[in-house]
Amino acid sequence: MEPVDTSRHDSDRAAVRPPASNTERRQRVIDEIKRRIVLGELTPGQRIIEAELTSSLEVSRPTAREALNQMARDGFLIQEAYRGLRVADIKVDSMLEIARVRVALDSEAIDEILDDATGERMARLEEIWERFETESSAVDPLAVHEAHVRFHRGIWEAADNYLLMRIWPVVEAQMTIILAYDQFTRRDSGRAHAIHAALMRAIRSGDRARVRTALDVHTMDSAQELALLVSGSADRD
Identify the burial level of 135 via C-beta atoms within 10 angstroms of its C-beta, where 0-12 means exposed, 13-18 middle and 19 or more buried.
middle
pLDDT, mean of residues 70-92 = 85
**CB neighbours (10 Å) of residue 237?**
5
Would you give the distance in Å from CA 126 to the centre of its chain? 20
Q: What is the DSSP letter of 47?
A: B
For residue range 205-227, list pLDDT tens digits in order: 999 999 999 999 989 988 888 78
Domains and CATH numbers, the chain: 7-87 (1.10.10.10), 92-236 (1.20.120.530)
For residues 95 and 226, is the Cβ–Cβ distance under 8 A? yes
Query: Which of 9-13, 85-89, 104-108 has the highest mean predicted lDDT (pLDDT)?
Result: 104-108
Chain segment 141-185, per-residue pLDDT in tens: 788 888 889 999 999 999 999 999 999 988 888 888 887 776 666
Q: Which residue type does 116 have?
A: D
Mean pLDDT, residues 118-123: 97
Mention every residue, 6+ apart, whose C-beta is less than 8 A from residue 216.
103
Report the SS3 class of residue 80: strand
Euclidean distance between CA atoms 53 and 60, whole angstroms: 9
Burial environment of residue 223 by CB neighbours within 10 A (0 to 12, 13 to 18, 19 or more): buried
Dist CA 220 CA 195 (whole Å) = 12
Choice among 21-30, 49-58, 156-165, 188-197 with the minimum mean pLDDT = 188-197
Q: What is the mean pLDDT of residues 82-110?
A: 88
Phi (first) and psi of residue 162, to 5 degrees: -60, -45
Q: Are 42 and 36 in contact (CB under 8 A)?
A: yes
Residues 195, 177: Cα–Cα separation, whole Å = 19
- pLDDT at residue 190, as a whole number: 72
**Crossing angle for the helix pair 189-205 and 120-135, to the nearest 10 degrees:** 170
pLDDT band at 202 (very low <50, low <70, confident <90, very high): very high
Q: Residue 73 and residue 62: Cα distance in Å, rounded?
A: 16
pTM of the model: 0.76
- Helix locations, 42-188, DSSP H: 50-57, 61-74, 92-115, 120-135, 141-159, 162-186
